[in-house]
Amino acid sequence: MESTLGLEIIEVVEQAAIASARLMGKGDKNEADRVAVEAMRERMNKIYMRGRIVIGEGERDEAPMLYIGEEVGICTREDAKSFCNPDELIEIDIAVDPCEGTNLCAYGQPGAMAVLAISEKGGLFNAPDFYMRKLAAPAVAKGKVDIRKSATENLKILAECLDRSIDELVVVVMKRDRHNELIQEIRKAGARVRLISDGDVSAAISCAFAGTNTHALMGIGAAPEGVISAAAMRCLGGHFQGQLVYDPDVVRTPESEKWTREGNVARLKEMGITDPDRVYDAEELASGQTVLFAACGITPGTLMEGVRFFHGGARTQSLVISNQSNTARFVDTIHMSESPKYLQL
Ligand code: VTB
């Protein structure tokens, strides 16, 4: 599954990122998302694979494209057996976020990216549309820090693992009212906080790379994005834990107002989640034997450059991670749409 797909999915995220980047700074997040979705889907449907979206733009009735359950790839056609080889006929599950950080893109802020994760059927946790408490940290702290411990305790452990003092740690937290206490606690413990407005996937994965000056991600973001982060962290050996949030008092949104705590527990049960408090680690959220992850920067971020346009083309930077080849590849691509006047080395 890995060899050819690994190359093709680079193009999938590249095309989504380029489409979205054309709308960077235009203030229209829905449009930035829509074009990314369209571009991602179009490129995906040219791949000889039998894919199914397990994390996408929403349920079928609310999302016209890349909805949960949508089949993608040439080998999903009925007569696929006549032109697809056995490898290509293996069913695969795909989690996508064509424009992760739509606000970041719409307002020209750092950290927006096109992202996806792939595994064999059943290899990715079908996350419900809930929030998730998350903890990400570098590989050296894997299994040592724990989302059930306090932030203060985790920072002590993290400092030990990284052989530095707590004030030399940077924790990324999304700037939300729900995190006010957490932020205070982290500061009190002595660590420094980098507040982001959006984009916790990039923040989570950055923890696995030295040099990003990101040592932990703490706080509550969306569960589907948690699975995508987990897929990358599973391949990188980094620490990632997620716990679903079902108490509507913890994250107040117009949608959460409609549900009670008990109602949410019942909804989770219907989806097969009987223990709503369960803590999932990266290996459970992305449990497949083969896990592939790909991302392409839309705006510049800690891991990748954003899309840069020039006369006759564009340049992108992507990251493709595989647990089969044990590689994290940074791919720098020049896309030539018409004959460019010159190419920058
Ligand atoms: C989260 C986070 C994403 O949006 O989904 C966040 O995981 C939404 O949280 O990276 P709020 O509902 O509190 O805004 C992102 O930041 C971007 O999609």
Give yes or no for residue 3 having a pLDDT over 80: no
Do 316 and 336 form a contact (C-beta atoms < 8 A)? no
- Among 99, 115, 197, 198, the mutation site with the greatest number of ligand 1 atoms within 8 A of its Cβ is 198
How far is ligand 1, taken at its centre, from the CA of residue 222, in Å? Answer: 6
Do 224 and 58 form a contact (C-beta atoms < 8 A)? no
Give yes or no for residue 111 having a pLDDT over 80: yes
Which residues contact residue 112 at a Cβ distance below 8 angstroms, ignoring those fewer than 6 apart?
20, 24, 99, 100, 101, 102, 104, 105, 199, 297, 298, 299, 301, 306
In the block, which residue shows the tokens 């984009």? 199
pLDDT tier at 20 (50, 70, 90 boundaries)? very high
Pairing of strands 192-196, 291-297: unpaired
Q: What's residue 241's pLDDT?
A: 98
How far is ligand 1, taken at its centre, from the CA of residue 100, in Å? Answer: 8
pLDDT tier at 76 (50, 70, 90 boundaries)? very high
How far is ligand 1, taken at its centre, from the CA of residue 98, in Å? Answer: 14
How far is ligand 1, taken at its centre, from the CA of residue 164, in Å? Answer: 31
Q: What's residue 99's pLDDT?
A: 98
Give yes or no for residue 344 having a pLDDT over 80: no
Write out residues with Cβ below 6 Å of ligand 1: 100-101, 176, 198-201, 221-222, 225
Q: What's residue 337's pLDDT?
A: 84
The helices-and-strands tally (H runs, E runs) of the chain is 9, 14
The ligand 1 atom at the shortest distance from the C-alpha of residue 132 is 7
- Among 129, 134, 200, the mutation site with the greatest number of ligand 1 atoms within 8 A of its Cβ is 200
Give yes or no for residue 257 having a pLDDT over 90: no
Q: What's residue 255's pLDDT?
A: 85
Domains of the chain, CATH where assigned:
2-121+289-336 (3.30.540.10), 131-285 (3.40.190.90)
Nearest CA, atom 17, ligand 1? 101
Collapsing DSSP states into helix, strand and coil, what is residue 40?
helix
pTM of the model: 0.96
Give yes or no for residue 2 having a pLDDT over 70: no
How far is ligand 1, taken at its centre, from the CA of residue 199, in Å? Answer: 6
Mean pLDDT in residue range 24-50: 98
* Cα–Cα distance for residue pair 92/103, rounded to 1 Å: 30
pLDDT digits (tens, 9 = 90+) for 179-231: 999 999 999 999 999 999 999 999 999 999 999 999 999 999 999 999 999 99
The ligand 1 atom at the shortest distance from the C-alpha of residue 176 is 13
* Cα–Cα distance for residue pair 320/331, rounded to 1 Å: 8
Collapsing DSSP states into helix, strand and coil, what is residue 152?
helix
Mean pLDDT in residue range 31-47: 98
Q: What's residue 279's pLDDT?
A: 98
The ligand 1 atom at the shortest distance from the C-alpha of residue 226 is 7
pLDDT digits (tens, 9 = 90+) for 124-173: 999 999 999 999 999 999 999 999 999 999 999 999 999 999 999 999 99
pLDDT digits (tens, 9 = 90+) for 219-240: 999 999 999 999 999 999 999 9
Nearest CA, atom 10, ligand 1? 199
pLDDT digits (tens, 9 = 90+) for 268-291: 999 999 999 999 999 999 999 999
Q: What's residue 1's pLDDT?
A: 63
How far is ligand 1, taken at its centre, from the CA of residue 16, in Å? Answer: 19
Q: What's the mean pLDDT when you consider all of the chain?
A: 96
Nearest CA, atom 9, ligand 1? 221
Rg (CA), the chain: 20
The rounded percent of the chain whose pLDDT value lies above 90 is 91
How far is ligand 1, taken at its centre, from the CA of residue 309, in Å? Answer: 27
